[in-house]
Structure 1
């Protein structure tokens, strides 16, 4: 019998109550679970703001990298345009094409066919074309100069 009593003492008082037929829940387990849940919620809430800020900063960094690449492309285009404008032959071609300038050693002709420009033939009965801006300006200056 001495061995049975030693086993009962080794098992502790919990086993005695289970043997008597009444079973009690362990209140320490539920309070520990509640404390654990509160701690986990506190950790989650304390981490939520930094994680949100981290994600927002990563998005901002990606947006700024995109803007930087667009600005670099624009700088490259402008550098190419600067180099192009530094070329004397390009400037001469553009002056001839856009401004109708003519070099002194070259004979230039301007064909006035009444068509209104760029190789298009004038159509009879078509819409009337507006005069160039400088003609309109000159006519308004002349009209303002006339006595009333």
Structure 2
């Protein structure tokens, strides 16, 4: 009896064809996966942009409210309305030039007008040094 070879010509051709098909499909499949990943990333970015847009729309509605504007003027600018009596309470224990420290920070943030005034004073002296918020430059 004649022994048949384990690998025939037809089997070799079939193996080459299967390898060629696998090789020809590898690149398109890799590109498909990469594009799906990019689409997912762009969808996340779009969701973040839509959330930011919704937040800005809410902020815009808030800024259109006159009561909110008055409240912010009182808090940020120390605004006092017409006919109101406003008081500034000073701590007698503290020296006149010092300010209280905020929780967890080395210094409390100075009001905008104080920073502005200190920068005008520094410019008037002509020393050319930058004034940090809440600090008076040494002469």
Give me the TM-score of the superposition, normalised by structure 1: 0.65
Which residue, out of 66, 69, 77, partners 1:91?
69
Q: Residue in 2 aligned with 1:58?
A: 36
Q: Deviation string for 1:89-135 (max 9, x for gaps)?
A: 00000000110111112111122334624899xxxxxx9xx9x4345
- RMSD (CA atoms): 2.8
Q: Residue in 1 aligned with 2:118?
A: 136
Q: Give the direction of change, closer, same or farther, for the CA distance of 1:50–1:141 in structure 2 (3 Å limit).
A: closer
Q: Residue in 2 aligned with 1:116?
A: 99
Q: Deviation string for 1:7-35 (max 9, x for gaps)?
A: xxxxxxxxxxx4xxxx15269x6100000
Q: Name which one, 1 or 2, has greater alpha-carbon Rg.
A: 1
Matched, 1:36 2:18: no
Q: Residue in 2 aligned with 1:67?
A: 45
Give me the TM-score of the superposition, normalised by structure 2: 0.69
| More helix by percentage | 1
CA distance in 1: counterparts of 2:4 and 2:76, whole angstroms = 96
Q: Deviation string for 1:41-77 (max 9, x for gaps)?
A: 0110111111101100110011011111111111111
Q: Which runs of 5+ in 2 are unaligned?
A: 127-139
Q: Which runs of 5+ in 1 are unaligned?
A: 1-17, 121-126
Q: Residue in 1 aligned with 2:82?
A: 104
Structure with larger RCO (C-alpha < 8 A, sep 6+): 2
Q: Residue in 2 aligned with 1:25?
A: 4
CA distance in 2: counterparts of 1:119 and 1:49, whole angstroms = 59
- State the shift of 1:140 in Å: 2.5
